[in-house]
């Protein structure tokens, strides 16, 4: 969608104008600017409270006032963007005009969030819907006072939003298309365009490198498991960050097959790998001065006569053995392979994202991801990036006394059967493979794919959660 910026004082068009009103001050400002609206505002009882709406027609203009309740900070800005897009869809406005002159006083991050959440709510995965049943605005005019400043921010956010949309498309696509091979080919395409070094570990190479988590999880599927390693090395950098993303392209549960209702949305179990691919793509696009190495452990978890089984024992590259208690706890097995490999290269930070546990959804819903780390510096940096982007993290404890729950009687560890606090215990399991590297596990099971709208999203499906969060974190350490 094309977005054009126009100076508010020069704009003469007659289109429907959506105008955010930032509480009492904003209301006084619009009345001062267009005195003819005073009676309509009074008659409509419009106070500028959050979510309040009123259509006015002063002179030859049609203006929809939308209240924010207070001067805009990041949280209110995100909600405003969602409300604006809801109005655009409700009125089917093909060429909406948005007057943002009242919010330009906010800092650059307020404006960034406003633009980001416009794009996030414009997005639709509609390639399988007949064209006559689709709706999307054709273009948008944004009225501003400081065109140069807004253009600078808009240009950056458009690039970021393009990568977020790319990631959402990967996650939303049907699992009959998105296989380990498909994800590998997407990574190869990115590496060619962005001049990113790529190494693909096929079945033979997985065996050679003793990446036995992937080998076992992928045995039940006709689509062979793969590990894709991508390296972005800028001309100058001081920090190296490894990003690991879970890449189960479809999770049936394996021999511990999921009930039918629990299998829905399991195409999104590769969200972590999609995000890891998106982040390295974005870092290269934006010339970020941080070395990034992304690891995509890719497998499909299916039942067959070849499937790995409960009671199997897998020995990993670092010598640790794991008893298989449940084949539907497969993500931590493929992640263990990638985390071991990443930690061997001694990056400054290792961040892993995965749709790992249902219990994190019970704990935090779809507005927070759980973050687990024993490194306070890394933890605080990630939480701050979450606050800045609206991709919120909530610290969960890696309580050492719970480690007894992940121990097996016949192996070093077991992959499930932990009892309560299973999200924490899964984090402890992953931590066993990170060595001394500063490590954070982010459980995005509730935030990567939503089935109901929330305070920031009017759209459902893949959210792209993690791309803006990690990019913001990377910028903060560069």
Q: Which two tokens stand for residue 8?
A: 């508010």
Q: Are 325 and 308 in contact (CB under 8 A)?
A: no
Q: Distances in Å between the alpha carbon of 10 and those of 143, 144, 147, 177, 406?
A: 9, 10, 12, 49, 66
- Concerning whether 152 is annotated as a catalytic residue, the answer is no
Q: List the catalytic residue out of 332, 388, 414, 425.
A: 332
121-129: long-range contacts (C-beta < 8 A, 24 or more apart)? 121/81, 121/82, 121/85, 121/86, 121/457, 121/458, 121/459, 122/1, 122/85, 123/164, 123/165, 123/168, 123/459, 124/459, 125/168, 125/169, 125/172, 125/173, 125/461, 125/462
HSE-up of 141 (CA within 13 Å, CB side)? 20
* Beta strands, E only, 102-196: 139-144
Distance from C-alpha of 299 to C-alpha of 246, rounded to nearest angstrom:
9
Parallel, antiparallel or unpaired: strands 197-201 and 16-21? unpaired
Q: For tokens 């939303």, name the residue.
A: 172
Q: Are 350 and 439 in contact (CB under 8 A)?
A: yes
150-155: long-range contacts (C-beta < 8 A, 24 or more apart)? 150/5, 150/100, 150/104, 150/111, 151/5, 153/108, 153/111, 153/112, 153/115, 154/3, 154/5, 154/115
Distance from C-alpha of 339 to C-alpha of 99, rounded to nearest angstrom:
47
Q: Which two tokens stand for residue 15?
A: 């289109």
- The residue among 390, 384, 448 whose CA lies nearest residue 115 is 390
- Concerning whether 332 is annotated as a catalytic residue, the answer is yes
**Bridge partner list, 296:** 228
**Bridge partner list, 413:** 322
Find the helix packing angle between 147-172 and 271-285, rounded to 10°.
150
Q: Which two tokens stand for residue 50?
A: 């959050």
Q: List the catalytic residue out of 258, 317, 403, 475.
A: 258
Q: Please report, to the nearest 10 degrees, the dihedral formed by the alpha carbons of residues 79, 80, 86, 91 taken in order.
A: 170
Q: Are 5 and 156 in contact (CB under 8 A)?
A: no
Which sequence positions are flagged as catalytic?
A: 258, 332
């Amino acid at each position: 969608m094309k977005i054009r910026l126009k100076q508010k004082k020069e704009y003469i068009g007659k289109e429907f104008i959506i105008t955010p009103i930032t509480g009492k001050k904003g209301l006084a400002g619009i009345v001062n600017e267009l005195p003819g609206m005073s009676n309509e505002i009074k008659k409509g009882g419009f106070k500028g409270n959050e979510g309040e709406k009123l259509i006015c027609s002063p002179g030859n203009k049609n203006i929809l006032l939308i209240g924010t309740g207070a001067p805009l900070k990041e949280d209110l800005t995100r909600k405003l963007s969602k409300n604006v897009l809801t109005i655009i869809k409700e009125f089917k406005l093909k060429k909406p005009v948005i007057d943002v002159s009242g919010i330009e006083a906010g800092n650059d991050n307020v404006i960034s969030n406003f633009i980001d959440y416009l794009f996030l709510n414009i997005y639709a995965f509609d390639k399988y819907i007949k064209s006559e049943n689709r709706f999307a605005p054709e273009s948008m005019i944004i009225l501003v006072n400081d065109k140069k400043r807004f253009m600078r921010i808009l240009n950056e956010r458009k690039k970021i939003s393009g990568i977020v949309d790319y990631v959402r498309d990967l996650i939303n696509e049907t699992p009959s298309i998105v296989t380990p091979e498909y994800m590998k080919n997407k990574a190869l395409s990115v590496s060619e365009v962005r001049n990113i070094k790529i190494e693909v570990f096929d079945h033979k190479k997985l065996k050679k490198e003793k990446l036995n988590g992937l080998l076992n999880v992928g045995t039940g599927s006709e689509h062979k498991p793969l590990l894709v390693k991508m390296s972005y090395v800028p001309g100058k950098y001081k920090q190296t960050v490894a990003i690991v993303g879970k890449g189960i392209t479809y999770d049936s549960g394996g021999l511990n097959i999921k009930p039918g209702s629990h299998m829905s949305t399991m195409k999104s179990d590769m969200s972590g790998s999609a995000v890891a691919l998106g982040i390295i793509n974005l870092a290269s696009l934006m010339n970020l001065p941080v070395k990034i190495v992304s690891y995509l452990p890719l497998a499909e978890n299916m039942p067959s006569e070849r499937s790995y089984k409960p009671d199997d024992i897998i020995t990993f590259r670092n010598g640790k053995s794991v008893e298989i208690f449940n084949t539907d706890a497969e993500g931590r097995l493929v992640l263990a392979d990638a985390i071991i490999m990443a930690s061997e290269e001694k990056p400054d930070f290792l961040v892993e994202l995965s749709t790992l546990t249902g219990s994190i959804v019970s704990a935090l819903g779809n507005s927070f991801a759980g973050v687990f780390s024993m490194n306070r510096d890394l933890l605080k940096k990630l939480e701050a990036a979450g606050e800045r982007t609206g991709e919120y993290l909530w610290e969960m404890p890696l309580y050492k006394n719970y480690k007894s729950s992940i121990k097996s009687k016949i192996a070093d560890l077991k992959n499930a059967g932990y009892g309560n606090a299973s999200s924490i215990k899964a984090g402890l399991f992953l931590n066993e493979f990170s060595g001394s590297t500063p490590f954070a596990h982010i459980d995005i099971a509730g935030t990567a794919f939503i089935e109901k709208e929330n305070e920031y999203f009017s759209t459902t499906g893949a959210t792209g959660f993690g791309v803006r969060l990690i990019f913001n974190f990377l910028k903060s350490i560069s």
